[in-house]
Amino acid sequence: MGRAQRGGGAGRCRDNRGGLSAAGGAVVRKRSRAGAGAAGRGGSRGRFRRDRSRRGSSPAPPVPSLPGPGAAAAGAGGAAAMHDAFEHVPILEKLPLQIDCLAAWEEWLLVGTKQGHLLLYRIKKDVGCNRFEVTLEKSNKNFSKKIQQIHVVSQFKILVSLLENNIYVHDLLTFQQITTISKAKGASLFTCDLQQSDTGEEVLRMCVAVRKKLQLYFWKDREFHELQGDFSVPDVPKSMAWCENSICVGFKRDYYLIRVDGKGSIKELFPTGKQLEPLVAPVADGKVAVGQDDLTVVLNEEGVCTQKCALNWTDIPIAMEHQPPYIIAVLPRYVEIRTFEPRLLVQSIELQRPRFITSGGTNIIYVASNHFVWRLIPVSIATQIQQLLQDKQFELALQLAEMKDDSDSEKRQQIHHIKNLFAFNLFCQKRFDESMQVFAKLGTDPTHVMGLYPDLLPTDYRKQLQYPNPLPGLSGAELEKAHLALIDYLTQKRSQLVKKLNDSDHQSSTSPLMEGTPTIKSKKKLLQIIDTTLLKCYLHTNVALVAPLLRLENNHCHIEESEHVLKKAHKYSELIILYEKKGLHEKALQVLVDQSKKANSPLKGHERTVQYLQHLGTENLHLVFSYSVWVLRDFPEDGLKIFTEDLPEVEALPRDKVLSFLVENFKSLAIPYLEHIIHVWEETGADFHNCLIQLYCEKVQGLMKEYLSSFPADRAPVPAGEEGGDLGDYRKKLLLFLEKSSWYEPSRLISDFPFDGLLEERALLLGRMGKHEQALFIYVHILKDTNMAENYCHKHYDRNKDGNKDVSSFLFSKEVEGYSYFVQDLKVLALYRLFQGLCSVWEFTYNLLEFRDYWMIAGCFLLRVLQWILLRVSVDFSIYQEVFKSAVQNFGWHGYNLVPLLGSTSPASCGYMQWFQSFPFVCCRSICPCSACISPHPVFIAWDRSRWKCWSLKPICRLLCRFWNCTTANWIPLR
């Protein structure tokens, strides 16, 4: 078994067969070249025969189950061998000593023999050809027994060897012994690992198998020190290798993974199989390759398989070496070269009984049998890549291209070219998802990817595109699958382009799939092609995604091409969205009009037209008016929603222009439009309020003529707004609007309401204009409706507003004018009820004084009003001082006049009062305490110049009460 180690190599004996006698310590100088061999001085000379490279696919026997988490799935043995990755050149031929182990570093080769000889060769390669100068630089015959295992650590200039079941350390160049490990006596196997610490220092670790124990050491100060305590294992190890902080150990029957980072866990992996000895070999990235018969899996330090499938060799490997990207195995008759990813058989080299393999560094591989040593020389990477591209093995070609020593720009260019070819080949293999994933990582012009598909690009442009091979024919389910993969690719590319669209650089940085093919430079042009292609793909795969694409604010679909494919697919709803987003509203509306008349169209009817017009806004008002005509004509209620829907665009329409349009063309809709903007949108413009009143008035006047012509002559007229039918509804709306609205201009409207009709409405307008006397005249003298007059006063009286505080005076004058002495109490009651709601008692008294001119005419009327108030209302009598003074002066009212004025003398209703014209006085009401009275009743007490007097209207009492017998709390001073 051999293992690659940084700058060094190791080899181990694999059989116990005897060999020829040693050739002494002779120094051998020899030249070898590919295809020929020559023995130098002190060595054997023989004719070099080029070994045949065996090409062909190997069988794929069933793979046994690999238990545990590291189990690998079985797979086929791989495709036929593809190309020559290595050439083999003989280095040593017919060596008289039997080789038991090998190790190498740089240009040095160590050969350990069964006879105990250690041979050091220097192998120098001629420049420009595969010729080697082989020189035996040193031969050490001091080892008494065969060398079981050697390992070179060139970084520390030491050689670690297993001799006589013990570990020895020698100087790499002088072979002088440096140290030995006494504790390791009885060792049967060791493995070394070179790591770099966090400080950058290189650390050498070694694991030694001593019977059923593992001993761990580290190198420091020219000797090995114990790393930690020993590990006990189930059996004697046969093979082992480091795997990061674990050691994979192969026993006779099973493989185990042992953690050495302090956890100390032991994990059983799977059986070794039928092979005589287990095989564990280190590979790159701290992993190990583990063999089970003719299968090999790669495990990490957790024992988990890192490859999708196991490698399937043509025979059971004896030894193995990893030379990325290749894994090289020594088989009984061949050296077989394979790759992990992709899992391929690359080459088989037939050699005579190969047994050992070791690596001396990058591209330095030696293979040996008992008496021969060969050097595997890598074929140039450029040659390999060329051959791999012809064989369409692009993944391996990419791995090799990454390893080239070219300049960065040349390297990137070649890698990009290979990836394009790889993606194209995946597409031709109809692995569409994988192909698009590779293309997505490249800067390839997306139009070149679209060109792989039929009917996505314009014919003239597609003819300019070039591809490595003819394109595959696609149809049916395959074409749909291909379209789905393209959608994912284009969506990703679109997202990247949109983010860069606002950059200062407006040019795209795409590259052609094939050199010489034109590319799209403009980012906007490229976005247009991508969006249009996405539209076509959605039409082929998922029509539901077409509308969301077209609704994107940054949608760049080509109008004419998109229009063509949508019409061809009869997707008129989506065509409307395209027109709308591109601002082609008239085209969209024309399609809606055409489709509205087709029975089977999803756009049948007027609803979509209404919805479209509602969103056009002020800038397209001419289109709104033009294309709303047919809807307003045939479906007026729905058509009105074009101007009244609660949408920002609708509410922002110029209302004066909309109103003019409706009045001119659809006058019957003007009223509901005005009602909406005033009551719902709270429009306060005077013109709109005036117009609504005028339209109401016009409507009412027209209906009134019909109503009056059919009204029976003997039937009493009904109140305004209760006529019934449309007339009653419209007139009620008119009256309510005149009363509630504060924004119309009554002076401009009064001429629309003449005296010969709509008097209630005219009275409301007069009241709004402040002409209360004219308004009350209509209520009192024309309509003869005291209640309406009273309600009017309730509404308009405002004691703090000039003009409105006189409204009660106007009505009072109308009430007393021509009043008869024989008026009924009901009339008086109505008058007071009116005034008590409008003003305070004092203000009512003030109004009485204002109408002194009427007192001579209607004195009895005023007397009745005053009597009614005094009998029914508890008031502050002091406020009537001026009234009584004026009454005495004008009518000679004296004390005896109070008796008819006050009426009943019952305690609940009478109020006694005395006044004096020439001097101030104080009066109060109290309860008479006289025992002579039949029952307690109110009395009037007054200060008469120098003494208190008490009056009672009951003749039987007439008692003068003492002052202190009165209730002083009820005194009321008069000023």
CATH number, domain containing residue 357: 2.130.10.10
Q: At residue 798, does pLDDT exceed 50? A: yes
Q: For the chain, what is the domain count?
A: 3
Backbone angles phi, psi at 642, to 5 degrees: -60, -30
Shared domain for 290 and 347, answered yes or no, is yes
Q: Which residue has the higher pLDDT, 968 or 750?
A: 750
Shared domain for 226 and 139, answered yes or no, is yes
- Read off the tokens for 255: 């493989």
From 454, 469, 484, give the residue that closes a domain: 469
Q: What is the pLDDT of residues 7-22, one digit of tens each?
A: 334 443 333 333 323 3
Answer whether residue 303 is part of any domain.
yes
Weakest mean pLDDT among 219-223, 313-317, 537-541, 911-915 = 911-915
Quick one: what percent of the chain has pLDDT higher than 70? 72
320 torsion bin: left (phi>0), alpha (psi -120 to 50), beta (else):
beta
Compute the average pLDDT of residues 930-942: 46
- Give the per-residue pLDDT at 724: 82
Q: At residue 332, does pLDDT exceed 60? A: yes
**Distance (Å, whole) CA 831 – CA 812:** 8
Shared domain for 374 and 397, answered yes or no, is no
Q: At residue 775, does pLDDT exceed 80? A: yes
Compute the average pLDDT of residues 210-215: 94
The pLDDT confidence band at residue 910, using thresholds 50, 70 and 90, is very low
Question: Are 723 and 707 in contact, with CB atoms under 8 Å apart?
Answer: yes
- Give the per-residue pLDDT at 146: 78
- Give the per-residue pLDDT at 786: 79
**Distance (Å, whole) CA 478 – CA 238:** 53
Shared domain for 291 and 386, answered yes or no, is no
Q: Is the dihedral of CA 348, 354, 356, 360 positive or negative?
A: negative
Residue with tokens 């004195």: 859
Shared domain for 267 and 339, answered yes or no, is yes
From 446, 469, 492, give the residue that closes a domain: 469
Question: Are 173 and 26 in contact, with CB atoms under 8 Å apart?
Answer: no
The pLDDT confidence band at residue 808, using thresholds 50, 70 and 90, is low
Q: DSSP character for 805?
A: G
Alpha helix (H) residue ranges in 597-669: 607-614, 621-634, 636-644, 648-651, 655-665
- Read off the tokens for 101: 């182990």
Domain that holds residue 261: 2-59+75-379
- Give the per-residue pLDDT at 44: 33
Q: Which residue has the higher pLDDT, 403 or 935?
A: 403
Backbone angles phi, psi at 499, to 5 degrees: -65, -30
Question: Are 273 and 238 in contact, with CB atoms under 8 Å apart?
Answer: no
Compute the average pLDDT of residues 89-103: 93
Amino acid in position 852: R
**Distance (Å, whole) CA 424 – CA 449:** 9
Q: What is the SS3 assignment for 781?
A: helix
Which range has the top average pLDDT, 257-271, 512-526, 619-633?
A: 619-633
CB-based contacts of 43: which residues, under 8 Å, 6+ apart?
23, 26, 28, 30, 92, 93, 95, 136
The pLDDT confidence band at residue 806, using thresholds 50, 70 and 90, is low
Compute the average pLDDT of residues 655-676: 97
CB-based contacts of 882: which residues, under 8 Å, 6+ apart?
845, 849
Q: What is the pLDDT of residues 175-189, one digit of tens each?
A: 899 999 999 999 999
- Give the per-residue pLDDT at 14: 36
Compute the average pLDDT of residues 147-165: 93
From residue 492, alpha-carbon distances to 441, 674, 929 in Å are 10, 52, 109
**How many Cα atoms within 13 Å fall on the side-chain side of residue 882?**
11
Question: Are 591 and 576 in contact, with CB atoms under 8 Å apart?
Answer: yes
- Read off the tokens for 135: 């020189």
**Distance (Å, whole) CA 831 – CA 154:** 129
Backbone angles phi, psi at 645, to 5 degrees: -65, 145
**Distance (Å, whole) CA 426 – CA 499:** 29
Answer whether residue 532 is part of any domain.
no
- Give the per-residue pLDDT at 871: 52
Mean residue pLDDT across the chain: 78
Q: Is the dihedral of CA 518, 522, 523, 527 positive or negative?
A: negative
**Distance (Å, whole) CA 340 – CA 346:** 11
Which range has the top average pLDDT, 68-72, 446-450, 512-516, 779-783?
A: 446-450
CB-based contacts of 797: which residues, under 8 Å, 6+ apart?
804, 805, 807, 808, 838, 839
Nearest Cα residue to 299 out of 244, 379, 373, 223: 244
Buried/exposed code over 296-325 (b: 16+ C-beta within 10 A; e: otherwise): bbbbbbebebbbebbbbbbebbbbbbbbbb
Answer whether residue 743 is part of any domain.
no
Shared domain for 393 and 367, answered yes or no, is no
Q: Which residue has the higher pLDDT, 194 or 62?
A: 194
What is the helix (H) or strand (E) element at residue 224, kind and residue range?
Answer: strand 223-232
From residue 954, alpha-carbon distances to 210, 935, 938, 951, 958 in Å are 145, 11, 10, 9, 7
Shared domain for 388 and 375, answered yes or no, is no
The pLDDT confidence band at residue 315, using thresholds 50, 70 and 90, is very high
Answer whether residue 278 is part of any domain.
yes
Answer whether residue 164 is part of any domain.
yes
**Distance (Å, whole) CA 81 – CA 59:** 13
**Distance (Å, whole) CA 190 – CA 209:** 6
CB-based contacts of 578: which residues, under 8 Å, 6+ apart?
550, 557, 559, 562, 563, 566, 584
- Give the per-residue pLDDT at 951: 46
- Give the per-residue pLDDT at 200: 81
- Give the per-residue pLDDT at 802: 58
Answer whether residue 255 is part of any domain.
yes
- Give the per-residue pLDDT at 799: 52
Cα pseudo-dihedral 462, 466, 467, 470, rounded to 10: 70
**Distance (Å, whole) CA 657 – CA 673:** 12
The pLDDT confidence band at residue 430, using thresholds 50, 70 and 90, is very high
Note if the pTM is more than 0.85.
no
Compute the average pLDDT of residues 951-964: 36
- Angle at 101 (CA atoms; ends 272, 179), nearest 5 degrees: 105
Q: What is the pLDDT of residues 857-907, one digit of tens each?
A: 344 445 555 555 555 444 444 444 455 455 445 444 333 333 333 333 333
Answer whether residue 323 is part of any domain.
yes
CB-based contacts of 812: which residues, under 8 Å, 6+ apart?
831, 835, 847, 851
DSSP bridge partners of 283: 287
Nearest Cα residue to 786 out of 807, 814, 764: 814
Q: At residue 781, does pLDDT exceed 60? A: yes
Nearest Cα residue to 170 out of 157, 181, 155: 157
Q: Measure the N-to-C terminal CA separation of the chain; round to a whole number of Å.
A: 136
Q: Is the dihedral of CA 563, 569, 570, 574 positive or negative?
A: negative
Weakest mean pLDDT among 404-408, 643-647, 717-721, 925-929 = 925-929
Q: Which residue has the higher pLDDT, 50 or 673?
A: 673
Question: Are 510 and 525 in contact, with CB atoms under 8 Å apart?
Answer: no
- Give the per-residue pLDDT at 914: 41
The pLDDT confidence band at residue 947, using thresholds 50, 70 and 90, is very low
- Give the per-residue pLDDT at 870: 53
Residue with tokens 């449309």: 726
**Distance (Å, whole) CA 715 – CA 125:** 135
**Distance (Å, whole) CA 739 – CA 788:** 13
Amino acid in position 367: V
From residue 645, alpha-carbon distances to 255, 283, 499, 586, 642 in Å are 79, 74, 37, 21, 6
Weakest mean pLDDT among 244-248, 379-383, 505-509, 763-767 = 505-509
Q: At residue 638, does pLDDT exceed 80? A: yes
Answer whether residue 121 is part of any domain.
yes
Shared domain for 390 and 347, answered yes or no, is no
Q: Which residue has the higher pLDDT, 144 or 511?
A: 511
Q: What is the SS3 assignment for 104?
A: strand
Q: At residue 812, does pLDDT exceed 90? A: no
Which range has the top average pLDDT, 11-25, 304-318, 610-624, 870-884?
A: 610-624
DSSP bridge partners of 444: 511
Shared domain for 367 and 228, answered yes or no, is yes
Q: What is the SS3 assignment for 118?
A: strand
| Long-range contacts of 945-951, Cβ-Cβ distance < 8 Å, separation of 24 or more | 945/919, 951/912, 951/914
From 469, 484, 508, give the residue that closes a domain: 469
Shared domain for 284 and 393, answered yes or no, is no
CB-based contacts of 854: which residues, under 8 Å, 6+ apart?
813, 816, 817, 862
Amino acid in position 298: V
Compute the average pLDDT of residues 93-112: 93
Shared domain for 279 and 311, answered yes or no, is yes
Q: At residue 954, does pLDDT exceed 60? A: no
Shared domain for 359 and 415, answered yes or no, is no
Compute the average pLDDT of residues 912-938: 41
Q: At residue 67, does pLDDT exceed 70? A: no
> Is the preceding peptide bond at 325 cis, omega within 30 degrees of 0?
yes
Sheet with 166-171, strands from edge to edge, namely 2-5, 8-12, 147-153, 158-163, 166-171, 177-181
